[in-house]
Structure 1
Amino acid sequence: MNSFDVVVVGWGKGGKTIAGALARAGKTVAMIERSTQMYGGACINVACIPTKALIHSAEVRTQHDFDPAYFTASVQRRDTLTGAMRQKNYAMLADLDTVVVFDGEARFTAPKTLTVTSGDDALEVTGDTVLIDTGSLPTLPDIPGAQISGRVHDSITLQHAPLPANLVVVGGGYIGIEFASMFAQYGSRVTVLDRNARPLAKDDEDVAAEVAHSLVDAGVTFVSGAQVRSIAQDEASATVVYEQNGSEASVTADAVLLAIGRTPATAALDLPAAGIATTERGAVAVDEHLETSVPGVYALGDVNGGPQFTYISLDDNRIVLDRLLGEGRRTTTDRVAVPATIFTTPPFSKVGLTEDQARAAGHDVKVAVKKVADIAAMPRPKIVGDARGIIKVVVDAASDHLLGAALVHVDSQEVINLVALAMRHGVTATELKDTIYTHPSSCEALNEVLAGLR
């Protein structure tokens, strides 16, 4: 039996960060990872970093014609970047004296005991504290032909597939929209099959329309109200059959991306053997301190069913670390105004409530909204050559506090952090409006936009 103070299952953002902190605090740590290609977690290997590297390569092109050679070079750049980060992340833990890295598949055999299997070899590991950080995997729809092979891909496999001249994206959520935008800029003809009545159905219609317009401008076709029924493929192509308004139709392409969401990665863990409860959606059930139904066993990141963002996993680390080494005051209820960005071109960032949500919640609201091209005090998008987009801010009329914002423009992924910080600390819309910003920057748009609150 290999005994440790802490056992971490999975190399995600939360797990790797807390493993390093605990090791530097003198704790013995076992780090278990099923794949040597996933040191550092999904973010740096298959998700945030590699996809944004591919998006950047697509955006810096002067022409958006179909160019497989350029895509191949972009993938090579992506691989070089992720390879270096993976090596660095491995060393950040493996080089610590009190950390032992185990390569293999982990399975619970008791509440705090796991068997780690690698090929024909197996060993047992136990810890006073166990942290589950196995992340999530792309969800597959329950329809004929929806298996990842050949010309049918998920968001991971498509990154290393040949550049498709024609791509069908099944799903109009964040991942589907982001990939559609990216591949359109590489010259692919992209069709998005979305079961909702319009793209980005959960967002305000004026904001969603602006995002959709940027994709249509890049050559993306949206098919709304499409219920996918089956997928078939041969050596030459793949065909997706869908139903729309009671009629059956189909679309054929070189590749199909299944992008309908992600599922917590718990299948291999044998959680029942440890008595660890799960939710109806298969996530590890946790309390506000991220502790599971088994005392001393915690779950961090996507696997616990919370928001599927790397920075949430990092905040999970803060909560659990405070529980293990601090006063245990931090909880998930502390989270206010968590921002998000879809890296379309230009990026779409948001925080808090939409206008529709704010009104439905009973707020008396004021709204400021303006197209980026019409904002005189925001020259930066024009300087970099992309003045598309919209800025919308929703404010409580009585308190002047921000309820939410949606930003579609160059640099929105940065500006949204300023807005979220203002929301968390009660900075009023008037204060944001009258703040001094650098020039030329995208933040200074708030001077002009918030002056138009009505």
Structure 2
Amino acid sequence: MAKEFDVIVIGWGKGGKTLAGTLARAGQRVAVVEQSATMYGGTCINIGCVPTKTLIHDAEQHRGNGADVQYFDRAVKRRDELTAKMRQKNFSMLNDLDSVMVFTGSASFTGPHSIKVVGDEEVLELSAPKIIINTGALPSVPPINGAEVGGRIHDSTTLQHAALPAKLLVVGGGYVGLEFASMFAQFGSEVTVLDRGTRPLKREDEDVAAEVLAALSDAGVDIFSSASVTSLRQNAEKVTVTYEQDGMERSVEADAVLLALGRTPATESLNLATTDVRLGDRGEIKVDKHLATSAEGIYALGDVIGGPQFTYTSLDDNRILKDQLLGEGERSLEDRAAVPTTMFTTPPLARVGLSEGQGRAQGLDIKVAVKKVADIAAMPRPKIVGDPRGIIKFVVDRNNDQILGAALMHVDAQEVINLVALAMRSGITASTLRDSIFTHPSSTEALNEVLANFD
């Protein structure tokens, strides 16, 4: 007979684990299913945000010192020690609750309110009137001849434990590709990026993108645009990548290749055909604004729904479902505004809202403030820490002084962008932000100067 619960949460991502704990403390019997003990806590702490940013930090400390295999190995060891501690903490946070049962194994639906969990030694049947899918996403493998992860060909997970490559080739010029390019270049690898677009960061204004690309170039990264990879061939010593550019077929050799072409919602193994859950074109689970699927009692949150793939949006998904299951049911995806993002190149690029190009394309009456970090007198912190590169750009409604968007590429940008996003959500004007009192020396105080100079 199936073990019965009030709620089953499939997957240990940020939103799912937080909601599971909340429901358990509210008195509900909760089953949490995670396919691997190595993934307790979810993608972020095990293979995503925390481990990669740990490696990026150590790479920045090594910048300019050339390839050092021992240094890289120590950085990987520190990464592993940190993730192990966080994984154990995350496991205890749920497993120690009396009304939570943790199951380790692969979950698949056997009916609209039941699942099968296949572990190493047993198969279990679980059932609940409410099931929450939080299975996340997996690195996409492109339909390119030879593009199979293994050996010297990696995705963003496997590359974290590969030997430090003398030559790394990155397929894809998106956030993940450029973060890893920046990281490995600072560890001392010779890095080449093949980007099929006309230019990397094409959604950014050209002046902002140029600053990021200049920083990558400073680190020694070579980027080739309009380069479409057609095949990969590897042997014990190298990988040969063939690509087309400007109508010509070219090839390049590397010690390792990173496939960085996005992530795909992890739904294939769930056997959703036994339910009424509908999927989108990319395999994502279709949900309404309250994160309910098309099947009664089944909800989904996090990367698996195909929206922005960020830990903090998954956490906000948790708030929406908490309100649905325990509250008034009023909170929804429509409440979400001014969500910031950061690409952790060195320095990082953080942004929120509209770019200048997007604002003008929409026909908005905007004013723009832009300044390179090196030229901002009231921003000594980047100079103090030895990295005055970057740019700050604001897009503001000319009629009401409301901030419509910002791009910050500088030391501490990942922190300052949160203040800007809060100002946007709260209706704080650019003038108010300009005249605010900030600590010194800090990166935030750049806002005093930049917002005083509009076009």
TM-score tier by shorter-chain length is over 0.9
TM-score, structure 2 length as denominator? 0.99
Corresponding residue of 1:393: 394
Corresponding residue of 2:351: 350
Corresponding residue of 2:59: 58
One-letter amino acid matched to 1:376: A
- Residue 451 (structure 1) shift: 0.5
Q: Which stretches of structure 1, 4 residues or longer, exceed 4 Å deviation after superposition? A: none
One-letter amino acid matched to 1:452: N
- Residue 337 (structure 1) shift: 0.4
Corresponding residue of 1:427: 428
Corresponding residue of 2:361: 360
- Give unpaired runs (5+ residues) of structure 1: none
Corresponding residue of 1:188: 189
Corresponding residue of 1:140: 141
- Distance in 2 of aligned mates of 1:4 and 1:120: 22
Secondary structure of the structure 2 residue equivalent to 1:322: helix
Corresponding residue of 1:247: 248
Question: What is the CA deviation profile of residues 90-117 of structure 1, one whole-angstrom value per residue up to 9, with x for unaligned ones?
Answer: 0000000000001110000111100111
Question: What is the CA deviation profile of residues 130-186 of structure 1, one whole-angstrom value per residue up to 9, with x for unaligned ones?
Answer: 100000000011011100010000000000000000000000000001000000000
- Distance in 2 of aligned mates of 1:61 and 1:153: 23
- Residue 119 (structure 1) shift: 3.3
Corresponding residue of 1:369: 370
One-letter amino acid matched to 2:224: V
Corresponding residue of 1:32: 33
Corresponding residue of 2:74: 73
Question: What is the CA deviation profile of residues 4-23 of structure 1, one whole-angstrom value per residue up to 9, with x for unaligned ones?
Answer: 01100000000000000011
Alignment size in residue pairs: 454
TM-score, structure 1 length as denominator? 0.99
- Distance in 2 of aligned mates of 1:244 and 1:396: 40
Corresponding residue of 1:108: 109
Residue 443, structure 1, aligned to residue 444, structure 2: yes
Corresponding residue of 2:7: 6
One-letter amino acid matched to 2:394: V
Residue 415, structure 1, aligned to residue 393, structure 2: no
Question: What is the CA deviation profile of residues 186-243 of structure 1, one whole-angstrom value per residue up to 9, with x for unaligned ones?
Answer: 0000000001111111110000000010000000000000011000000000011000
- Distance in 1 of aligned mates of 2:166 and 2:70: 13
Q: Root-mean-square deviation (CA), in Å?
A: 0.7
- Residue 263 (structure 1) shift: 0.2
Corresponding residue of 1:123: 124
Superposed, 1:83-98 pairs within 5 Å as: 83-98=84-99
Secondary structure of the structure 1 residue equivalent to 2:313: helix
- Give unpaired runs (5+ residues) of structure 2: none
- Distance in 1 of aligned mates of 2:144 and 2:388: 41
- Distance in 2 of aligned mates of 1:123 and 1:19: 20
Residue 267, structure 1, aligned to residue 268, structure 2: yes
- Residue 377 (structure 1) shift: 0.3
Retained in 1: the 8 A contact 2:172–2:261? yes
- Residue 120 (structure 1) shift: 5.2
- Distance in 2 of aligned mates of 1:308 and 1:196: 21
Secondary structure of the structure 2 residue equivalent to 1:451: coil
Corresponding residue of 1:230: 231
Secondary structure of the structure 1 residue equivalent to 2:6: strand
Corresponding residue of 2:332: 331
Superposed, 1:307-322 pairs within 5 Å as: 307-322=308-323
Retained in 1: the 8 A contact 2:194–2:227? yes
One-letter amino acid matched to 2:195: D
Superposed, 1:167-206 pairs within 5 Å as: 167-206=168-207
Secondary structure of the structure 2 residue equivalent to 1:101: strand
Retained in 1: the 8 A contact 2:170–2:192? yes
- Distance in 2 of aligned mates of 1:196 and 1:413: 26
- Distance in 2 of aligned mates of 1:126 and 1:107: 12
Corresponding residue of 1:279: 280
- % same residue: 63
- Distance in 2 of aligned mates of 1:453 and 1:295: 52
One-letter amino acid matched to 2:49: C
| Structure 2 CA distance for partners of 1:450 and 1:178, relative to 1, 3 Å | same
Retained in 1: the 8 A contact 2:63–2:186? no
Retained in 1: the 8 A contact 2:172–2:196? yes
- Distance in 2 of aligned mates of 1:119 and 1:87: 20
- Distance in 1 of aligned mates of 2:77 and 2:63: 20
- Residue 62 (structure 1) shift: 5.8
One-letter amino acid matched to 1:233: Q
Question: What is the CA deviation profile of residues 42-64 of structure 1, one whole-angstrom value per residue up to 9, with x for unaligned ones?
Answer: 00000000000000111112643
- Distance in 1 of aligned mates of 2:240 and 2:452: 51
One-letter amino acid matched to 1:2: K
- Residue 352 (structure 1) shift: 0.3
- Residue 447 (structure 1) shift: 0.5
- Distance in 1 of aligned mates of 2:152 and 2:63: 29
- Distance in 1 of aligned mates of 2:12 and 2:242: 38
